[in-house]
Amino acid sequence: MILVLIVATPTLILWGRKDDSVLPKYGVRFHRLLPNSRLITYPGLGHLPMLEDPRTTARDAEKILTH
> What is the structure's pLDDT at 31?
94
Does residue 64 surpass a pLDDT of 60?
yes
Give the model confidence (pLDDT) of 16-40 as tens digits. 999 999 999 999 999 998 888 999 9
Residue 29: φ, ψ to 5°: -65, -45
> What is the structure's pLDDT at 2?
57
